[in-house]
Amino acid sequence: MRRRSLVAFVILNILITAAVIFAVNQFLNSNAPPPSTSQLVITVPILVTATIDPNAGPAIKIVTATPQPGTVILPTGILSTPGTAVSAEAIGTIDANALAVNPADAQSVQTSSTALPENCILHTLVSGDTPFAIAEQYGADPFRLMEVNGLNDDTASLLQIDDVLIVPLEGCPLTGPVTTPVPTLEETIESEATTEATAEATAELATATPTLRPTLTLPPTATNAMVEIAEVVGVGQIASEGITIRNNGNNVNLKGWTIETSGGNVYTFTERILFSNGLVTVYSRVGQDTAIALFWNRTQPGFQPGDVVTLKDNTGKVQGSFRLPAPVTLP
């Protein structure tokens, strides 16, 4: 009896287990989605944010701009930032008030008073400069440079730092030593005025008795003096007035030498070598010194008709003197 009960219990458990497995399988199959050939794609938006690093420095972009052909690049410093002061250096010019021309012509005179012809430029000597090195630097003919500045092998070796040479570029019209400045508008006007005044004076002299101004005695010249006053030109005309000094002896340093007038005007030479048989002209007006032309930088003439001009060396000895023609006084 016990044995039958055990067998029946085992069979019952098997049946119950099979029924449970079948029921679960049916339940799962009933909830499964029907088979399909399409696939559902779900898109989920994701927001990505970036937090700036507080320790990071500012981003810097370097942009290099290459100018197109034909673009004109202005030198730095020409344009100023609004609100800032613009500095300017004073440039010596002829006093426009002394010119009997309109302001536009006066400005033209100021611009061209010390200008050289086109393609002729100035070069200030620095340590190591030689005429041939300067010519090579500017692409100029060294022999023309020597000719324009009145130099030879001996005199070129005596050039000093800060001396100014004229560099004749291609197209420069200068062909020899420059001893007088290019005529300016003021000089042309004064020349015409002088011509008219001379014609009027000549007509008046025909019927007038002139009264001559007493002349001054020339001071005695030092023995064996070799430097002389060659000529004084443009007396009383600031634009063209000048005095030329000639050295008939050995090379001489003019430092400390003076040009004095009986009217009390004095010009003192700085360091300047005057070569043997060389000439140097001192102009009364404003200008830039060169190897053969010096400037007194006056705004009024330094010489007057009838003056006695005296050249003295650095010890005060008279080396040369020159009496300017006395004026004629009409009654």
Region 67-95 average pLDDT? 47
- Is 232 in contact with 322 (CB distance < 8 Å)? yes
Average pLDDT for 25-51: 59
Helix H, strand E, coil C: the string for 23-89 is HHHHHHHHHCCCCCCCCCCCCCCCCCCCCCCCCCCCCCCCCCCCCCCCCCCCCCCCCCCCCCCCCCC
pLDDT beyond 70 at 258? yes
Q: Is the pLDDT of residue 165 over 80?
A: yes
Work out the mean pLDDT of the chain and round it to a whole number. Answer: 73
Residue 257, pLDDT above cutoff 90:
yes
Task: Output the pLDDT for position 318.
Answer: 92
pLDDT of residue 301: 93
pLDDT band at 313 (very low <50, low <70, confident <90, very high): very high
Distance CA 239, CA 144 (A): 28
Which top CATH class is 219-329? mainly beta
180-237 pLDDT, tens digit per residue, is 444 555 665 666 666 666 666 666 655 544 444 444 556 666 677 889 999 999 999 9
Q: Are 327 and 303 in contact (CB under 8 A)?
A: no
Task: Tell me what pLDDT residue 42 has.
Answer: 57
Residue with tokens 């003295």: 312
Q: Mean pLDDT across the stretch 56-70?
A: 54
Q: Find the range with the poorest average confidence among 76-85, 225-234, 246-255.
A: 76-85
Query: DSSP alpha helices (H): ranges in the chain?
Result: 2-31, 103-112, 131-138, 142-148, 153-156, 185-205
* 312 compared with 95, residue with greater pLDDT: 312
pTM, two decimal places: 0.38
Across the range 308-327, mean pLDDT stands at 89
